[in-house]
Amino acid sequence: MRQVISLPHADPGTPDLAGPTAYLRWVGKGQWRTLVVAITFGIVWLVSQALFPAAMGKAIDDGIIGADPGSLLLWCGVLVGLVVISALSGAFRHKYAVANWLQGAFRSAQLIGHHAADTGEALTRTVPTGDVVATVSSDAMRIGGLYDVTARFVGSVVSYVVVALILLRASTTLGLVVLIGVPVLVACLSLIVRPLQRRQLAQREEAGRLIGLGADTVAGLRVLRGIGGEHTFLQRYAVQSQSVRTVGNRVAGYQAALDAAQVLLPGIFVLIVVWLGARFAIEGEITAGQLVAFYGYTAFLVIPLRTATEMVDRATRAHIGAGKLLRILRVRPDQVESAQTRPLPTAPSRLVEPRSGVSIEPGRFTVVVSARPEDSAALADRLGRFGSEEGGATEARLGGTRLADAPLAELRRRVVISETDPRLFTGSLRDELDPWGVHDDATILAALSVASGDDVLEALPGGLDNEVEERGRAFSGGQRQRLALTRALLTDAETLVLVEPTSAVDAHTEARIAARLTEARAGRTTVVMSASPLILDRADDVVFLRDGRAVATGTHQQLMTEHPDYRRTVVRGEED
């Protein structure tokens, strides 16, 4: 069977964030073609089934009671035709219903993924990690589920109207019972759905907390083992698990009541209609064939009734999920593209940061030293236009252009910041070091050598094809740091800012990295935040920060001789 759609979407689009209903409507518009096809097949599927009793009734009245073999064969043929139509339309309805479910789920999951990449740390500051994970793994699927049931729901409504019109023509009383009775039953079921919705929302909140707690525990597992804190976190996880179980039991009670009502209420409805039909048949108001047809209609109406209830349940879950998703999508990134961008200078230019008074000359190897590492790390964020802009946009300038006014894509390409806490993701080592796939193996190995990571590669049985575990947890801190440095070098950025790139390696490895780094980056702007004498010895320029401000600039030897505070900072770093 030919594939209907291509997933994931090339572009998930720009969502409507006005509210959960608006978002669900927007998702539906994005897949209206497959929705229309699914609805068409859904109508044909259920209406053909709704006509089964009519064909059976005519076969009984005209063919059996009327003793007309020709009519019997005719209506039996009609019944077989309806069965074939129902089977074929049902198969295609299911195919397109699954396509709608996947499109809605994938679109929602992609939006979260893209938004998480755009917002970065701003997202985790606003929304717990567990909520983000639960939204992708659970809520996106529930949103997709709404479009799965849509075709059956529309088919149910149309088939319900068809059956009601047929019954009204045969018996006004029975027709009115069906027309009024089905909406009343759905209204009765909604009395259970509303409290169920509140409990489902509570369950979703507790499950999100549990996932977040689990993610935080796994992320800090090595530290927990080091301080013997596993038992404490295990207790916290057990307590939260019990909270989820308790809330789940409350949901299960109402869900069970809803499932039971879906069987009980339609059953009572069928009994009422059959009893009335039997009375009318005895009194001669309807024929035997019509009585059989009425029973078939009431049995069939259980399908629209249950589908309507399922639609309410799915819509409730989707509405809750959409609300959670919107909470994520409404988080604003720390950096937003300026309305009127200005291009950066085409040639390498001086990088100036007014708040600290630091000036970085192009094409030179500059090391920034600070007694407080957080000051130099904050400077690196401002040089790369990272971090929150709540205190105002960065005033750093490249040449005469403010970084806050530059196009973000161009800035990220030309000025690359490598943080002190390297982050590795799941995938092959080759893809980890060269995410864009623009370098050959020789270039990757050369960059790895500059970062003194040859031994890391040699220890991997699969080489560059070896799978990197989540967060790179199979590597030591020093290995992760060298792999992150390799990744930064492969960007071939015009300006490369490295924050404590050798803090987790030994002195011999650090000396090799310092020598190779200055050689590999010769002629290009490189800024290193470090107080290591091994790196400072290789620097063209050294900037010393005190309380976040540049108080001295020169070579390492000059500052060691002329600036006591600098000397104390560097000597202390060497002792550490």
Structural domains of the chain sorted by starting position, each given as residue range(s) with its CATH number in brackets: 20-330 (1.20.1560.10), 351-573 (3.40.50.300)
| Per-residue three-class SS string for 463-506 | HHHCEECHHHCCCCHHHHHHHHHHHHHCCCCCEEEEECCCCCCC
- φ, ψ for residue 208 (rounded to 5)? -65, -40
Is the model more confident about 179 or about 487? Answer: 487
Arithmetic mean of pLDDT over the chain = 85
User: By percentage, how much of the chain surpasses pLDDT 70?
Assistant: 89
> How high is the pLDDT of residue 204?
63
Burial tier of 39 (Cβ tally within 10 Å: 0-12, 13-18, 19+): buried
pTM for the whole thing?
0.69
Mean pLDDT, rounded, for 384-390: 73
SS3 417: strand
DSSP 405: G
> How high is the pLDDT of residue 277?
77
Residue 158: which of 282, 51, 270, 317 has the closest Cα? Answer: 51
Cα dihedral 539, 541, 545, 548, rounded to 10, equals -110
Q: Give yes or no for residue 416 having a pLDDT over 50.
A: yes
Contacts by 122-129 with C-beta closer than 8 Å and gap 24+? 122/331, 122/332, 122/333, 122/334, 122/388, 123/328, 123/331, 126/331, 127/327, 127/328, 127/331, 128/208, 128/209, 128/212, 129/211, 129/212, 129/215, 129/216
Q: Give yes or no for residue 1 having a pLDDT over 70.
A: no
User: Is 565 within 8 Å of 535 (Cβ atoms)?
Assistant: no
Tokens representing 195? 């409290």
Which range among 143-147, 555-559, 572-576 shows the weakest confidence by mean pLDDT? Answer: 572-576
> How high is the pLDDT of residue 28?
94
User: Is 214 within 8 Å of 283 (Cβ atoms)?
Assistant: no
Q: Which of the residue ranges 96-100, 268-272, 468-472 has the most confident prediction, judged by mean pLDDT?
A: 96-100
Mean pLDDT, rounded, for 504-520: 94
CA atoms within 13 A on the CB side of 562: 11
Asked whether the bond before 422 is cis by omega within 30 degrees of 0, the reply is no
Residue 270: which of 293, 297, 290 has the closest Cα? Answer: 297
> How high is the pLDDT of residue 197?
62
> How high is the pLDDT of residue 309?
77
> How high is the pLDDT of residue 576?
47
Round to whole Å and give the CA distance between 298 and 271. 9
Question: Of all helices (H) and strands (E), which one includes residue 151?
Answer: helix 140-170
- Give tens-digit pLDDT for 338-384: 778 899 998 889 999 999 999 999 999 999 999 898 999 999 999 99
- Give tens-digit pLDDT for 86-100: 999 999 999 999 999
Quickly tell me which residue has 């529309």 as its tokens.
Answer: 154
Q: Give yes or no for residue 34 having a pLDDT over 90.
A: yes
Count of helix runs (H) and strand runs (E) in the chain: 22, 12
> How high is the pLDDT of residue 211?
65
DSSP 420-456: SS----SEEHHHHH-TT--S-HHHHHHHHHHTT-HHH
Q: Give yes or no for residue 226 having a pLDDT over 60.
A: no
> How high is the pLDDT of residue 5?
64
User: By percentage, how much of the chain surpasses pLDDT 90?
Assistant: 46
Burial tier of 169 (Cβ tally within 10 Å: 0-12, 13-18, 19+): exposed
Q: Give yes or no for residue 538 having a pLDDT over 90.
A: yes
Mean pLDDT, rounded, for 494-518: 94
Tokens representing 191? 């009395």
Tokens representing 552? 């001295």
Tokens representing 168? 């009204």
> How high is the pLDDT of residue 459?
86
> How high is the pLDDT of residue 2?
46
> How high is the pLDDT of residue 419?
83
Round to whole Å and give the CA distance between 339 and 208. 36
**Residue 201: pLDDT band by 50, 70, 90 thresholds?**
low
Mean pLDDT, rounded, for 465-491: 88
Q: Give yes or no for residue 192 having a pLDDT over 70.
A: no
Tokens representing 386? 């990272």
User: Is 199 within 8 Å of 255 (Cβ atoms)?
Assistant: no
> How high is the pLDDT of residue 8?
79
Q: Which of the residue ranges 157-166, 221-230, 256-265 has the most confident prediction, judged by mean pLDDT?
A: 157-166
Tokens representing 328? 């994520």
> How high is the pLDDT of residue 147?
95
